[in-house]
């Protein structure tokens, strides 16, 4: 490269030159050049001075605290923005608006909790139940069997309690202003929609609030985490220690951390840290009810009945000759079991009767 004819502004645009000025690369070459071509060397000097001055300009500086605060704001705004308006439900002729429900799966991890002596601070099912004011009126369901246990709540919501699970609620005032249940273990919830009466699940340190959804919750006393997985609708979660707990519980809205379908949250109990994610481990959803969409497109009633039996562990008894081949189109994902039955009966002009785990469907022949 012949630098003999170079002027100052030729040097500042020369890549090799700017590299030398910035990093000292090829210093020998440039020193040599300046020695051997004195006329060029003062141009080199000028160019170099200018570049160095530009490279060392006084700068406005962000303090470490400001930088950290900004990042927190960014995270917070991102969380807020991920709350999306409720997805419009798929409506069919058979769905009645006020029965739209959501299913929530509350799951607690199986990992044992390495307690560090702060066990007194932990919130457990036993403690919550003991603290319930009128504990004499608590109704508890315990599943000691292998199969999931279906629990129907007074408001029509259904809960599938898995093996070892325990569910309690206050019989007397369950459906007054709020609907509240306590959970230990794993359960799949299908909650009747009632925005006037929010539904709360207390599982260890986590409070899950729904207006009408389907979800799974896992909360075991000896486990490190509490998990909530949403199937349909949306729920909000917060901890028992949340300073804004009272406000979040009071109203008919879902605030705080809101979960949408196929999202899950894990509460790490010792640090009280909530983290949200998409469903990473679909194998955690073991119940057919958790996974099935209950969408029937012109399907024989016998098949619909079989699906319900499989999902809820109930027996559906009907006249196979009369009803077996009746075809049904229904989208029943959100509904608790009883609502599903009711809607199917409406569609078939049938009536139902429930006795223990048996559901009797009586109808005339279909058209």
Partner 1 sequence: MEKKIRIEKDIIECWNLLRAGDRKSFAHIYSFYADDLFTYGSYFSQDRDLVKDAIQELFIDIWRMRENLSATTSVKFYLFRSLRRKLHVLTETRTSFSTFDSEADLPEVISHEEEFMNRETQDGRLKQLHRLLSQLPPRQFEAIRLCYFDNFDLKETASIMQMNEQSVRNLIQRSIRHLRQLFTTIVSLFLFFYKTL
Q: Can you give the binding site for partner 1, defined by CB under 8 A? A: 8-9, 12-13, 18-19, 21-25, 42, 45-46, 48-62, 66-67, 70-71, 73-75, 77-78, 81
Return the number of the residue (18 or 270) whose C-beta is nearest partner 1: 18
Q: How far apart are CA 197 and CA 217, in angstroms?
A: 20
- Name the token pair of 3: 């630098």
Q: Give strand pairing partners of 167.
A: 141, 183
Q: 50: how many CB neighbours lie within 10 A of its CB?
A: 15
Return the number of the residue (261 or 288) whose C-beta is nearest partner 1: 261
Residues 6+ apart with CB under 8 A from 233: 86, 100, 101, 102, 103, 193, 210, 211, 212, 213, 214, 215, 261, 334
Taking the complex as a whole, how short is the minimal distance between the CB of residue 105 and partner 1, in angstroms? 23
Return the number of the residue (30 or 220) whose C-beta is nearest partner 1: 30
8 A C-beta contact, residue 211 and residue 198? yes
Return the number of the residue (51 or 284) whose C-beta is nearest partner 1: 51
Taking the complex as a whole, how short is the minimal distance between the CB of residue 67 and partner 1, in angstroms? 5
Taking the complex as a whole, how short is the minimal distance between the CB of residue 151 and partner 1, in angstroms? 37
Taking the complex as a whole, how short is the minimal distance between the CB of residue 7 and partner 1, in angstroms? 9
For the four alpha carbons of 159, 165, 171 and 176, in that order, the dihedral sign comes to: negative
Q: 226: how many CB neighbours lie within 10 A of its CB?
A: 28
Taking the complex as a whole, how short is the minimal distance between the CB of residue 277 and partner 1, in angstroms? 10
Return the number of the residue (68 or 252) whose C-beta is nearest partner 1: 68
Return the number of the residue (63 or 144) whose C-beta is nearest partner 1: 63
Alpha helix (H) residue ranges in the chain: 8-12, 15-23, 27-36, 38-55, 64-81, 125-131, 245-250, 288-291, 301-312, 320-323, 337-348
Return the number of the residue (12 or 317) whose C-beta is nearest partner 1: 12
Taking the complex as a whole, how short is the minimal distance between the CB of residue 312 and partner 1, in angstroms? 36
Taking the complex as a whole, how short is the minimal distance between the CB of residue 164 and partner 1, in angstroms? 34
Half-sphere exposure of 20 (CA within 13 A, CB side): 20
């Amino acid at each position: 490269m012949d630098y003999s004819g170079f002027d100052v502004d030729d040097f500042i645009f020369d890549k090799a030159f700017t590299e030398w000025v910035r990093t000292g690369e090829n210093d020998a070459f440039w020193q040599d050049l300046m020695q051997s071509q004195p006329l060029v060397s003062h141009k080199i000097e000028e160019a170099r001075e200018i570049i160095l001055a530009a490279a060392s300009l006084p700068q406005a500086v962000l303090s470490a605290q400001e930088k950290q605060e900004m990042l927190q704001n960014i995270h917070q705004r991102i969380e807020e923005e991920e709350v999306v308006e409720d997805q419009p439900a798929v409506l069919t002729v058979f769905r009645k608006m006020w029965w739209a429900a959501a299913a929530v799966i509350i799951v607690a991890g199986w990992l044992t909790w390495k307690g560090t002596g702060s066990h007194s601070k932990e919130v457990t099912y036993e403690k919550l139940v003991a603290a319930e004011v009128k504990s004499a009126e608590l109704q508890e369901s315990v599943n000691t069997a292998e199969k999931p246990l279906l629990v129907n709540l007074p408001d029509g919501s259904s809960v599938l309690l898995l093996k070892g699970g325990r569910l309690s609620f206050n019989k007397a005032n369950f459906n007054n202003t709020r609907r509240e249940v306590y959970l230990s273990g794993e359960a799949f919830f299908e909650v009747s929609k009632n925005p006037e009466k929010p539904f709360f699940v207390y599982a260890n340190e986590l409070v899950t609030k729904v207006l009408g959804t389907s979800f799974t919750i896992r909360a075991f006393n000896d486990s490190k985490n509490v998990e909530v997985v949403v199937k349909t609708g949306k729920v909000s979660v917060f901890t028992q220690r949340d300073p804004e707990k009272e406000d979040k519980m009071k109203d008919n809205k879902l605030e705080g951390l809101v979960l949408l379908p196929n999202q899950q949250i894990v509460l790490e109990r010792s640090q009280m840290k909530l983290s949200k994610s998409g469903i990473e481990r679909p194998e955690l959803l073991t119940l057919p009810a958790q996974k099935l969409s209950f969408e029937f497109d012109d399907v024989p009633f016998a098949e619909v009945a079989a699906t319900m039996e499989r999902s809820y562990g109930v027996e559906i008894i009907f006249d196979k000759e009369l009803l077996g081949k009746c075809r049904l189109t229904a989208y029943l994902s959100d509904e608790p079991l009883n609502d599903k039955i009711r809607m199917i009966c409406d569609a078939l002009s049938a009536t139902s009767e429930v006795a223990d785990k048996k559901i009797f469907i009586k109808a005339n022949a279909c058209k």
